[in-house]
């Protein structure tokens, strides 16, 4: 079989090496190896099994958040709940979007998204707390968002420069979790502590 023609000029090789980049000949040769790995090339620097495990924990966290927000959406009652219900539903939809992004990335990395209900709460970083009053529901959601924020921040720094695509996905989700926490903190302020217990409604 005819060997691949080197495409890297000596000058290019020197320049690339100086700035820490791989020359074109090596890039092309590496891409031909292990094509069954899809997007996962030899240049992937992170520990893929660890990244997939962390992504699956984040996926479980998102699913628990979807369920909790949905429960709060259906159960919130009282005059103050009208705008809050809309917020719960919007957050549930956005958490579903996060779950989908994580599942897609897990597949790209050659893993399987763990969508099994078994052990979901153990894999999840956030808890499923129903809450009774509207204020309690918002507080529980805010606590869960704060857990998610810390989780994603730690994952971003763990992945670092070794897997830029995963990092971008995590940073995108992190930014939205921060918005969610901000929304909930504003709602709590609006409702004020005097509302506690007023929205029991059942």
**Given the rule CB under 5 A, which residues bind Fe ion?**
62, 95, 98, 145, 177, 180
Question: What distances in angstroms separate CA 31 from CA 22, 67, 91, 110, 165, one per listed residue?
Answer: 12, 41, 40, 16, 18
Q: Which of 62/87 has CB closer to Fe ion?
A: 62
Q: How far is the CB of 200 from Fe ion (least distance, A)?
A: 25
Q: How far is the CB of 69 from Fe ion (least distance, A)?
A: 8
Q: How far is the CB of 55 from Fe ion (least distance, A)?
A: 13
Among 151, 147, 131, 128, CA closest to 139: 131
Q: Which of 92/159 has CB closer to Fe ion?
A: 92
Q: Which of 140/145 has CB closer to Fe ion?
A: 145
Contact between 53 and 79 (Cβ < 8 Å): no
Q: Which of 60/109 has CB closer to Fe ion?
A: 60
Contact between 59 and 106 (Cβ < 8 Å): yes
Q: How far is the CB of 95 from Fe ion (least distance, A)?
A: 4
Cβ neighbors of 101 (< 8 A, separation 6 or more) are: 169, 172, 173
Q: How far is the CB of 108 from Fe ion (least distance, A)?
A: 19
Half-sphere exposure of 193 (CA within 13 A, CB side): 0
Q: Which of 159/180 has CB closer to Fe ion?
A: 180
């Amino acid at each position: 079989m005819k060997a691949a023609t080197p495409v890297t000029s000596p000058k290019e090789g020197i320049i690339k090496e100086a700035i820490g980049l791989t020359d074109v000949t090596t890039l092309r040769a590496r891409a031909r190896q292990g094509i069954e790995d899809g997007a996962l090339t030899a240049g992937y620097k992170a520990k893929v099994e660890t990244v997939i495990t962390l992504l699956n924990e984040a996926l479980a966290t998102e699913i628990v958040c979807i369920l909790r927000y949905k429960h709060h959406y259906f159960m919130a009652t009282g005059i103050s709940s009208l705008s809050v219900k809309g917020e719960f539903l919007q957050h549930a939809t956005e958490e579903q979007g996060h779950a989908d992004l994580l599942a897609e990335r897990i597949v790209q990395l050659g893993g399987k998204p763990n969508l099994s209900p078994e052990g979901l709460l153990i894999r999840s970083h956030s808890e499923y707390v129903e809450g009774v009053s509207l204020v309690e529901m918002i507080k529980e959601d805010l606590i869960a968002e704060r857990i998610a924020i810390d989780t994603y921040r730690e994952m971003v720094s763990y992945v670092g420069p070794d897997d830029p695509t995963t990092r971008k996905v995590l940073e995108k989700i992190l930014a939205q979790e921060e918005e969610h926490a901000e929304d909930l903190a504003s709602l709590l302020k609006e409702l004020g502590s005097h509302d506690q217990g007023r929205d029991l409604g059942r």
